Amino acid sequence: MASNRVKGSASQTAAAYFDAWRKGDVPRMARLVYQPPPDFAVQHHRLTEDLHVESVKLTPGQLKSTGEGAAEVPFAGVRQLAEFGAWPFDSTLRLGVRDRAWKVLWAPETLHPLLKDGGTLELDEIDAAAAELVTSEGDRIPNDSYADSYLNQLKPEFTQAGHGWELVSKIPGQPVRQLMTRQPEANVERTTLSRSVQAAAARALDGVDDSTIIAIRPSTGEILALADRLKDNYSAVRDVFPPGSVFKTITAAALLANGLDPAAQVQCPGTYTIPFHSSFDNDGKVDRGLVSFTDAYAYSCNTTFVEQATTRLTADQLRETADEWGFGRPIATGIGGTCGTVPDTDDQDMFAADVIGQGQVVATPLCMAALAAAVQSGTWRSPRLLSEPQVRRIDGTPHKDVPMDGQVVAALRGMMAAVVEHGTASDMGLPEGVAGKTGTAEVGDGDESHGWFIGYRDDLAFCVFVRHGGSGRQAAVPVAARFLNGL
């Protein structure tokens, strides 16, 4: 009759235990267990936290008697894991009469059979490979494309997204067993670089020390090529240099907006002296006499530009025009960037030097490529190397598009075409349809000048810059010809 004094039944205790387990009521579970280990609650909570368990579903089978005062209930369980979803398991709840009551005879394998004999279950992160930045077409970017420093700078922006997961079983004395894996998503991010344009830019720079090519799609602002071989840690998107005569494009825009007609006849003497101020020379002091304003630009007449600007413009007007065409603002490309500056001056000689891209005026090659793109499309667009959402995330909101004056743009297009047809970039092997502007920027201290050439052809604008390379015609135009003919 002793059995009549046993409290409850095996089935009641099992049902109560499963109910408490489903609800996550660990203290109630512990009260139903015979001599629960001191870390009973810790083992349950640790498994839930370590494996990121969101819920558990338990389906008990038939209770079976296994002897006098002993029983067991096989059960199916399904844990819902945050990283893997449903993870089913089968186990057994053992019960016995202890101290005249039916109690759960708990062991770690009640939680999961793989916890037997000191086994552990662990959820580990699988590190993603470094982000791979690819071309706009999804192709790999060649290692020798001279874009590496920019792409390596970007990679950390995309690595935090991709971790995979593995669920492993570790049993002492046995090899680690992988139960489930979720590989990290291939962390591939498309840039705006065009495979063919980047390749052509890189090949055009082969053998040209201390040089860069930036190409932009004028209709969108996408950077199609960024090949940078500048030395001494200089950057084509962040570091500024005197732009020389390519800046005459800005001065011409200011003069055109102020009413100077591209067909107007202007003087291009070998030397011009500002009344009571400094003298300025053409390259080689060449005297071209009376020429159209278009031809003064095509031949890069310093004297014409100094005379016209100092008699028609103020320093403020020049700076305001430069700002309209991109100067004085940061550029949100995804890798940072800046354009250039035209500092304020009330010194007439300094203003005259600024007019021809000497003096205090400085610009980045990126800025000059964007200027050429704005002439081609009629709208200044902020250049970018990544998708617009990624640029906003990394660099902040780009400057809005700026529509340019239609008459000024039309005149500049004709003037840039004249440079290639019969001006300083003529007979240099450039393909049909190219318009551009050469620049030679003196740097003082006995160093060789910087060579510049900016331009466009169809929906592609570019800037070639050869630091200390000499004249724009001799240093930069041949690089541009190789680049454009290689497309």
Q: What is the 3-state secondary structure (H, E, C) of the chain?
A: CHHHHCECCHHHHHHHHHHHHHHCCHHHHHHCECCCCCCHHHHHHHHHHHCCEEEEEEEECCCEEEECCEEEEEEEEEEEECCCEEEEEEEEEEEEEECCEEEECCCHHHHCHHHHHHCEEEEEEEECCCCEEECCCCCECCCCCCCHHHHHHHHHHHCCCCEEEEEEEECCCCCCEEEEEECCCCCEEECCCCHHHHHHHHHHHCCCCCEEEEEECCCCCEEEEEEECCCCCCCCCCCCECCHHHHHHHHHHHHHHCCCCCCCEEEECCEEECCCCCEEECHHHCCCEEEEHHHHHHCCCHHHHHHHHHHHCCHHHHHHHHHHCCCCCECCCCCCCECEECCCCCCHHHHHHHHCCCCCCEECHHHHHHHHHHHHHCEECCCECCCHHHHHHHHCCCCCCEECCHHHHHHHHHHHHHHHHCCCCCCCCCCCCCEEEEEEECCCCCCCCEEEEEEEECCEEEEEEECCCCCHHHHHHHHHHHHHHCC
**Per-residue pLDDT, 425:** 98
Q: What gap in Å lies between CA 16 and CA 108, rounded to an integer? A: 19
pLDDT at residue 486 is higher than 80 = yes
Percent of the chain topping pLDDT 90? 91
**1 Cβ contact list (under 8 Å, min separation 6):** none
Least confident residue range of 177-186, 247-256, 314-323, 397-406 = 177-186
pLDDT tens digits along 406-460 = 999 999 999 999 999 999 999 999 999 999 999 999 997 788 999 999 999 999 9
Least confident residue range of 20-24, 89-93, 156-160, 216-220 = 156-160
Longest dimension (CA), the chain: 131
Q: How confident is the model at residue 2 (pLDDT cuts 50, 70, 90)?
A: very low
Report, as an integer, the average pLDDT of 345-364: 97
**Per-residue pLDDT, 5:** 84
Q: How confident is the model at residue 1 (pLDDT cuts 50, 70, 90)?
A: very low
Report, as an integer, the average pLDDT of 57-62: 98
Which of these, 208, 222, 277, lies nearest to 468 by C-alpha position? 208
**Per-residue pLDDT, 185:** 74
**Per-residue pLDDT, 162:** 59
**Per-residue pLDDT, 160:** 58
pTM for the whole structure:
0.76
**179 Cβ contact list (under 8 Å, min separation 6):** 121, 167, 168, 169
**Per-residue pLDDT, 4:** 62
**Residue 236 Cα to chain centre, angstroms:** 15
Q: How confident is the model at residue 356 (pLDDT cuts 50, 70, 90)?
A: very high
Report, as an integer, the average pLDDT of 211-233: 98
pLDDT at residue 113 is higher than 60 = yes
Report, as an integer, the average pLDDT of 7-34: 96
Provide the token pair at 432: 């049909």
Q: What gap in Å lies between CA 466 and CA 468, rounded to an integer? A: 6
**Per-residue pLDDT, 183:** 84
Average pLDDT taken over every residue of the chain? 95
Q: How confident is the model at residue 3 (pLDDT cuts 50, 70, 90)?
A: very low
**Per-residue pLDDT, 12:** 97
Q: What gap in Å lies between CA 340 and CA 463, rounded to an integer? A: 14
pLDDT tens digits along 273-304 = 999 999 999 999 999 999 999 999 999 999 99
pLDDT tens digits along 378-390 = 999 999 999 999 9
Report, as an integer, the average pLDDT of 26-43: 97
pLDDT tens digits along 252-278 = 999 999 999 999 999 999 999 999 999
Q: What gap in Å lies between CA 150 and CA 139, rounded to an integer? A: 17
Which of these, 239, 244, 238, lies nearest to 444 by C-alpha position? 244
